[in-house]
Structure 1
Amino acid sequence: MPKLIKNLGAIVRRPISAGVIAVLALSSLTLPAQARETLRIGYQKSSTLISLLKTQGKLDKALAAANIEVSWHEFPSRLPLLEALNVGNIDVSADVADTVPIFAQAAQAKLTYFAQEAPSPSAQAIVVHKDSPLQQLADLKGKKVAVAKAAGAHYLLIAALNQAGLKFSNIEPAYLTPADGRAAFENHKVDAWVTWEPFLSGVQRQLPTRTLVDGSGLASYKRYYLTSTRYAKAHPEVLKLVYEQLHEAGIRIKNHPRDAAQVLGPLWGNLDVETVEAANARCSYQIQPVSADQLGEQQKIADTFFAARLLPKAVDAHDVEIWKP
């Protein structure tokens, strides 16, 4: 384009022939269009708001208006998702549990918080069978408890045991994925199960259970949205669009729970609508900015996991980059 402008300056002092006009017209038609940017989003099947936006095409449409194309990348679990974000294979991560950024910091990943969902403490709980002799947290002493290692449920279990005056060594942990944890619980291979939504509502609706305790007063259970620090600095306007779409999706899911459940059910292993609605009722889905003064519980998680030797090093939860909408 600069060369074309220079050439134009050289000929303005001469009469313009029809041939020159034709050449210029042809040149303007063949100039390359502005290339579209691509936003690479990593997500899991459990990524509620992102899954809704993807399935309904709302985020693609909003970004297309800004000449941005979305590239979707599904991951089976949080670890490969986190690694992909850290090495630059994706730009943005859908929601992850509050424990995930702590492990990212321990691994010295260059990640930035760009949104969070307000606390949903009742979206995870410790459950036992309805006819179980276990009536209170103290009764877990010497019992076998299924839990996903290093997940938010693991932090809830440690916090609950501490409240009951027990140490983690007072129980026998069975580190299992949610699917395996459900099978072990259903077949009475464990005495209790610590899990989160939608697995929590699923087992409560399909089996006679009791809840020993949920996260209220113990673990807030926030979900965080992450981006690479490099991307946050280079494309704040794109993050603003994503933030706005997430915020609107959170409002829609609360205003239209049945519609959302009908979309999510097939994505969550063909769960029935009632179970999905029950699960979503316990989740805030309220998108908020992240601020450093709200990371106190993140520090508690970091300290707890370091003491439990789940983290290789101590972590300052406040030593992070935070994008502001």
Structure 2
Amino acid sequence: MNHSTFRGRRTFLAALGATLASTALPAWAKYQADQFRIGYQKAASTLVLLKAHGALEKRLAPLGIKVSWNEFPAGPQLLEGLNVGAIDFGYVGEAPPVFAQAAGADFIYTAYEIPTPHAEGVVVAKNSPVKTIADLKGKKVAFNRGSDVHWFIVALLRKNGLGIGDIQPIYLAPADARAALEQGSIAAWAIWDPFLSAALVQSNARLLADAQGVASHHQFFLSQREYAQKRQNVIAIAMEELGKEGQWVKQNTAAAAAQLAPIQGLDAGIIQTGLEHYAHVYQPIDATVLAEQQRIADTFYDLKLIPRKIVTKDATLA
């Protein structure tokens, strides 16, 4: 690892830790029994559709609970919002909870989506000389720092006899990374759907590898601890409605894609391909998936990507 890369990671962790360690919460950020504040990302299709359809509002209205929706650009920012009490519930990938817990965030794992390894991958330009993962050695690989593809890249390199120090990590948000790939300023880009499907169709990109046999690519529903302790009924209703929404998406993928197209700003056909890569099946958190998260946490600690050891089971109500 070069010194500039280390400094960048150290600065990132320090800034994240400072945000997450804040204890002086503003008045609006405290637990409110009559509110259910949901954090989501535009690419979180099931949550986006649940918001659009209004089913959760109808379920919770008789209980006197108002639902509000808060959009975040990525998982790490959503976790910050959860920790400081700005939201009560959110949906992120595998790596953000590990980074956040290591930085002091207090949340709980509520449920997870069963594995979706085809929903993330590494792409290169169609005419790129890079043909194998080994060919990435010494090259610039872009990905969103602290996101689920951060773990995917680490695991993919390890499976192919390389380490994170064998590439040049370039930390970019999806839009910037796509532009960099199209301009030829990076060799490869690790990304998730629907951006993955969009790159393959619109950016003349080629799939180098997806996460099959490398990473489970679990997605997690997380809850603010106090809210989970006091409002388990609300979270249970939310998961029930999300389960129904997921089944609707599976049975009506084309219709779901058409509804998502103007929201996500992508062609409906691209969104449909991305939706087909996800399972849309959610299960309560269990020991097996927590063990997988522990493996990610231990690996990140060994690589000095997180500042301290964590126990993922601590992020439960058990």
TM-score range, shorter chain: 0.7 to 0.9
Residues 19-73 of structure 1 deviation map (CA, whole Å, 9 limit, x = unaligned)? xxxxxxxxxxxxxxxxx92212222222221111111111111111333221222
**1:318 aligned counterpart, secondary structure:** helix
Partner of 1:116: 112
- Give the alignment's Cα RMSD to 1 decimal: 1.7
The letter of the residue matching 1:251 is Q
1:304 aligns with 2:299: yes
Partner of 2:163: 167
For structure 1, which runs of at least 5 residues remain unmatched after alignment? 1-35
Q: How many residues align?
A: 287
Q: Output the CA distance in 2 between the equivalents of 1:266 and 1:189.
A: 30
Farther off after superposition, 148-157 or 223-232: 148-157
Choose the corresponding residue for 1:285, options 280, 283, 290. 280
Choose the corresponding residue for 2:38, options 17, 20, 41. 41
The letter of the residue matching 1:185 is L
Q: Output the CA distance in 2 between the equivalents of 1:58 and 1:103.
A: 32
Q: Output the CA distance in 1 between the equivalents of 2:187 and 2:72.
A: 31
8 Å CA contact 1:291, 1:322 repeated in 2: no
Pairing 1:314-325 to 2, within 5 Å after superposition = 314-322=309-317
1:217 aligns with 2:217: no
Choose the corresponding residue for 1:68, options 65, 69, 80. 65
**1:173 aligned counterpart, secondary structure:** strand
Q: Output the CA distance in 1 between the equivalents of 2:233 and 2:211.
A: 35
Partner of 1:273: 268
**1:70 aligned counterpart, secondary structure:** strand
Deviation, 1:210, is 2.3
Q: Output the CA distance in 2 between the equivalents of 1:231 and 1:123.
A: 30
8 Å CA contact 1:290, 1:322 repeated in 2: no
Q: Closer, same or farther in 2 for the Cα pair 1:317/1:165, shift >3 Å?
A: same
Q: Closer, same or farther in 2 for the Cα pair 1:164/1:76, shift >3 Å?
A: closer
The letter of the residue matching 2:260 is L
Partner of 2:132: 136
Choose the corresponding residue for 2:55, options 46, 55, 58. 58
Q: Output the CA distance in 1 between the equivalents of 2:41 and 2:252.
A: 22
The letter of the residue matching 1:300 is R
Return the TM-score normalized by structure 2: 0.86
Choose the corresponding residue for 1:196, options 187, 192, 196. 192
Computing the radius of gyration from Cα coordinates, the structure with the larger value is: 1
Q: Output the CA distance in 1 between the equivalents of 2:304 and 2:175.
A: 25
Deviation, 1:322, is 4.5
Residues 83-142 of structure 1 deviation map (CA, whole Å, 9 limit, x = unaligned)? 22212222112x101111112211232211111111110111111122222111111112
Partner of 1:17: none
Farther off after superposition, 166-175 or 247-256: 166-175
Q: Output the CA distance in 2 between the equivalents of 1:130 and 1:47.
A: 28
Partner of 2:204: 208
Q: Closer, same or farther in 2 for the Cα pair 1:84/1:208, shift >3 Å?
A: closer
Residues 290-310 of structure 1 deviation map (CA, whole Å, 9 limit, x = unaligned)? 112322221121122222222
Residues 282-325 of structure 1 deviation map (CA, whole Å, 9 limit, x = unaligned)? 011111111123222211211222222221111122222158xx
Deviation, 1:229, is 1.3
Partner of 2:222: 226
Choose the corresponding residue for 1:243, options 239, 242, 247. 239
8 Å CA contact 1:128, 1:211 repeated in 2: yes
Choose the corresponding residue for 2:88, options 70, 76, 91. 91
Farther off after superposition, 50-59 or 305-314: 305-314
For structure 2, which runs of at least 5 residues remain unmatched after alignment? 1-32
Farther off after superposition, 137-146 or 62-71: 62-71
8 Å CA contact 2:76, 2:147 repeated in 1: no
**2:313 aligned counterpart, secondary structure:** coil
Partner of 1:78: 75
**2:186 aligned counterpart, secondary structure:** coil
Return the TM-score normalized by structure 1: 0.84
The letter of the residue matching 2:61 is A
